[in-house]
Amino acid sequence: MAVRFTVEARDAGTSARAGVLATERGSFRTPAFMPVGTAATVKGVWPDQLREMGYGCILGNTYHLYLRPGPERVRGQGGLHRFMGWDRLILTDSGGFQVFSLSALRKVTDEAVTFRSHIDGSLHALTPEVAVAVQEALGSDLRMVLDECVEYPAERKEVEEAVRRTTLWAQRSLAAATGTRGGMFGIVQGGMHADLRVRSAEEICSLPFQGFAVGGVSVGEGKELQRETVALTVPLLPAEKPRYLMGVGTPEDILFAVTRGVDLFDCVLPTRNARNGMMFTSTGPLSIKQARYADDPLPPDPRCDCPTCRSFSRAYLRHLYLQREMLASMAMTVHNLRYYARLMERAREAISRGSFGELVKESAISGVQ
C-alpha cells in the first residue's frame, strides 16, 4: 500500500495545512472536498464535469455498490474507475455507516454486522474482512476500515463498546488487506466523550494506517458538540498522515475543521441540496423555488465561474425546477459542486499565504454556510 502525503504549507494563525495526497493512480491537493458518488455516479453529473470542476478524488459507497451491482460485477468490468469512467482517485467507505443508517434488522457482534438489504430484504453479514475484500474488488485507491458508528445521544457504555470493537475491527482489517495500491484509513470513534475519543485515537493511531479519520460525527449531535469533538480529536491524529472528517459538512463546518488541521471531507450536502433546489452562493444559500426569483435574470451567483452561472438565470432554473426537468438538478448540482471546489481552492491559497484565519472570518461575515 502506498499513500504519500506531503504537507506543503502551514497556516500562520491556525492549525490549517495545505498538502498533496499521492497514490499510484495520481494525486490531488488538500484540503480537499470529495463529492459523493453513491452508486458509481455523482448524481446528475458527467465525470468530465467533475474533472473540469477540479476534483481529484470522489467517494463511492461500499454498501450500495456491494448490493448493486455487486463487487464481482464491478471487478469483472475492470474495477470501479473503469466502470464509471473516472480516472482520478476514489475513496470508498466501509459500508458500515449505511448498514447502521439504512438497513433493517441489523445485529452487531464482534464477528460481524448482520443486516437485511434495504432493497430486497436479503440477509448479509458484513465483517471487517468482507469490507476490505469488497473495497479491493472495487479497486478504490483509499479504503476505510469497518467501524462501529454510534448515534447521538447514546449510553456511555454503548460508546465504550463501539470503541473497543472499532479497534478490534481495525486490527482485523489491516490483517485482511491484500491490496498493494493506495491505502487504508483507520477511524477514530468515541462519541462525544472526550476520554473515549482519546482512548480510541491512541488505539487506532498506533496501527500502521495510511491516514486517519474522525468518525461518529454528523450523527445528530449538533454544531457545537461536533466542533468540540473535532477540536479535541484532530490534534490526536498523526500530523504526518492525511486526516479525514467523515460526512462533514456545510462550508462553515469545513472551514472550521480545516483550521483544526483536517485535510479531507465528504458530504452529500452540495449534491442533495441541489436536487432540492438549494444553491450555495457567495452571499448565502439561495432557494430557487421562491417566487422572488420568477423573473430574476441574474445567475445564481454573479461571482461564480461555473457553467450554470455562465449560461442560466435564476428565472430559468426556477422554471426548470418547477417543471421537474432533469436539467434543474444537473445545473444546480454542477453549481454547488463548483462552489465547494472553489471554497477548497481558496482555502489552499489562503493557507499557502498564511492567512487562512482571514478567509474564515470573511466567510462568516459574507454569510457562507
Largest CA distance in the chain: 60
Decide if residue 50 touches a second copy (CB under 8 A).
no
Show the site string, 261-300: x = touches a second copy by CB under 8 A, - = not.
---------------------------------xx-x---
Other beta carbons within 10 angstroms of residue 120's beta carbon come to 8
Decide if residue 126 touches a second copy (CB under 8 A).
no
Decide if residue 68 touches a second copy (CB under 8 A).
yes
Show the site string, 331-360: x = touches a second copy by CB under 8 A, - = not.
x-----------------------------
CA–centroid distance for 201 within its chain: 20
Is 117 or 313 the residue whose CB approaches a second copy more closely?
313
Decide if residue 322 touches a second copy (CB under 8 A).
yes
Which candidate in 93, 253, 263, 301 is catalytic? Answer: 93
Decide if residue 311 touches a second copy (CB under 8 A).
yes
Show the site string, 29-48: x = touches a second copy by CB under 8 A, - = not.
----------xxx-xxxxxx
d(CA 206, CA 22): 22
Q: How many residues bind a second copy (CB under 8 A)?
A: 37
Q: Report the chain's C-alpha Rg in angstroms.
A: 20
Decide if residue 85 touches a second copy (CB under 8 A).
yes
Using the contact rule CB under 8 A, the part of the chain among 79-87, 131-139, 142-150, 223-231 near a second copy is 79-87
Decide if residue 78 touches a second copy (CB under 8 A).
yes
d(CA 79, CA 137): 7
* Contact residue for a second copy among 59, 269, 320, 332 (CB under 8 A): 320
* Contact residue for a second copy among 15, 29, 52, 69 (CB under 8 A): 69
Decide if residue 185 touches a second copy (CB under 8 A).
no
Minimum CB distance to a second copy, residue 199 (Å): 40
Decide if residue 313 touches a second copy (CB under 8 A).
yes
Q: Is 263 a catalytic residue?
A: no
Using the contact rule CB under 8 A, the part of the chain among 188-196, 256-264, 304-312, 357-365 near a second copy is 304-312
Q: Is 110 a catalytic residue?
A: no
Is 2 or 294 the residue whose CB approaches a second copy more closely?
294
Q: How far apart are the first and last CA of the chain?
A: 37
**148, 165 contact by CB (below 8 A):** yes
* Contact residue for a second copy among 83, 209, 256, 339 (CB under 8 A): 83
Which candidate in 11, 141, 263, 266 is catalytic? Answer: 266
Is 86 or 256 the residue whose CB approaches a second copy more closely?
86
At 158, list the grid cell.
454503548
Minimum CB distance to a second copy, residue 295 (Å): 6
Q: Which residues bind a second copy (CB under 8 A)?
A: 39-41, 43-48, 68-69, 73, 76-78, 83-85, 294-295, 297, 307, 311-313, 315-316, 319-320, 322-323, 325-327, 329-331
* Catalytic residue list: 93, 266
